[in-house]
Amino acid sequence: MATPNRRTIADLRGATRLAIDATLGVMGVVEKMHHTVQLTPMPIGKSRAARPAGLTGLIYRSIRGTTKLIGHGLDAGLAPVAALLPDGETSAARDAWVSVINGVYGDHLEATGNPLAIEMSLRSNGVVVDPERPAEALSGAQGRVMLVIHGLCLNDLHWSREGVNRMEAVAAASGYTPIFLRYNTGRSIATNGRQLASMLETLLGNWPGSVDELAIAGHSMGGLVARSASHHGEAAGHAWVRSLRKLVFLGTPHHGAPLERGGHRLDYVMQLSPYVAPFATLGKARSAGITDLRYGTITEHKKRAVPLPAGVSSYTLAATLGKRRTVVAERLIGDGLVPLDSALGRHDDANRTLAIPKSHQHVIHETGHLELLHRPEVYERVSKWLE
């Protein structure tokens, strides 16, 4: 049996808090549903259900209070135990499930101070890089830096398969010092972009030696975070933006993903009936990061069109599950999550189309969204772009 440590206790506290929050959420749905049945409204129309009053309301309030009391008691009991234990090590499996939880509920985890919330960090060879003292974690740092950013519900370890990190190898072979970002993908893209911009300003300002060039590669949401960081860095007058030379996008939903737009439409349909409306609360619980994927939002303004940074060479690689390019494969299927047009930055509105030259675009077939992380063809193309 594994020896308890601070990390396992922190995970237990986080999971307990999340379970209590989920219980209260489901209880709220049941309570509203109960009140709806009491009101007996028409099948279609706006829901008027709130929390019931009288004896029924008292019972629900008592249950909520007891649930919260149990949650606070468990949390308070575990906190002092953690202080007495050693730090403990993490594992790839543990990091993977924590990354998934952050992708789905990350903004809620952060807002409630849950120990499971991931803090943004920079990493090299599995070691955390302190932006204020990067030389302590980096040996032989080059003047060319490459930042690599993962996508939704993932982390920096997902770039490796069977002990091989192709992106790291390609970056090093092209003369770059690779740095990997780990972040809470459930936060809004704009929030992550702004924090990353500030972190890069600190990192490159303390880089051991001069920085000749910065390249950023992002998979899926990671590409949007890169664009957001560039936008916020330029707005803040950061010096690091002047070092940015290349942006590489892998399956990035520049103009959104149909899956999230479908979820939004389902929320709307569920609100049409007072008997179903309470359940819409559960659907709306998805994180700000996920809802930002509806239109590929990278600022606080949900539908604002933001061009690519001037003077930066941008490259984009898109995938399709189809064997050949067809209307269905490109517009509906894409790589299973992102349509081809969205990944290539194309839009029906010319003002929203990203200025990525066709010579900087590449499409691979019979490839899914997550397969982009490990396909050799992807890294052959990225290598050419970096060189």
Residue at 73 is within a domain: yes
Range of the domain at 334: 121-257+293-386
Q: What is the pLDDT of residue 274?
A: 47
- pTM score, whole prediction: 0.81
Residue from 120, 168, 174 nearest 143 by CA = 174
Domain end point (choices 42, 76, 92): 92
- The size of the chain, in residues, is 387
User: Are 28 and 88 contained in the same domain?
Assistant: yes
Residue at 115 is within a domain: no
Residue at 249 is within a domain: yes
User: Are 171 and 234 contained in the same domain?
Assistant: yes
Q: What is the pLDDT of residue 334?
A: 85
User: Are 301 and 363 contained in the same domain?
Assistant: yes
User: Are 152 and 247 contained in the same domain?
Assistant: yes
User: Are 190 and 74 contained in the same domain?
Assistant: no
Q: What is the pLDDT of residue 266?
A: 41
User: Are 58 and 127 contained in the same domain?
Assistant: no
Q: What is the pLDDT of residue 268?
A: 44
CATH, residue 371 = 3.40.50.1820
Q: At what angle do helices 376-386 and 166-173 cross, to 10 degrees?
A: 20
Domain end point (choices 49, 77, 92): 92
How far apart, in Å, are the Cα atoms of 271 and each of 41, 262, 302?
14, 14, 22
User: Are 170 and 41 contained in the same domain?
Assistant: no
Q: What is the pLDDT of residue 153?
A: 92
Residue at 286 is within a domain: no
User: Are 84 and 126 contained in the same domain?
Assistant: no
Helices (H), ranges, the chain: 6-39, 54-83, 92-111, 166-173, 189-205, 221-235, 258-270, 277-283, 288-292, 327, 340-344, 376-386
Residue at 105 is within a domain: no
Residue at 14 is within a domain: yes
Residue at 207 is within a domain: yes
Q: What is the pLDDT of residue 14?
A: 74
Number of folded domains that form the chain: 2
Residue from 221, 215, 206, 238 nearest 147 by CA = 215
User: Are 132 and 51 contained in the same domain?
Assistant: no
Beta bridge mates, 219: 250
User: Are 222 and 301 contained in the same domain?
Assistant: yes
Structure tokens at 50: 């709130």
How would you write the pLDDT of the chain (387 residues) with one tens digit per residue?
A: 456 666 676 777 777 776 766 665 554 544 555 444 444 544 444 555 555 555 555 554 665 666 566 655 655 555 655 554 456 677 888 899 889 889 988 998 899 888 889 999 999 988 999 999 999 999 888 899 999 999 999 999 999 998 899 999 999 999 999 999 999 999 999 999 999 999 999 999 999 999 999 999 999 999 999 999 999 999 999 999 999 999 999 999 999 987 654 444 444 444 444 434 444 554 556 789 998 998 899 999 877 889 999 999 999 999 999 886 665 555 557 888 899 999 999 998 888 899 999 999 999 999 999 999 999 999 999 999 998
Residue from 176, 155, 329, 164 nearest 248 by CA = 176
Residue at 114 is within a domain: no
Q: What is the pLDDT of residue 10?
A: 72
DSSP 159: G
User: Are 85 and 217 contained in the same domain?
Assistant: no
User: Are 13 and 128 contained in the same domain?
Assistant: no
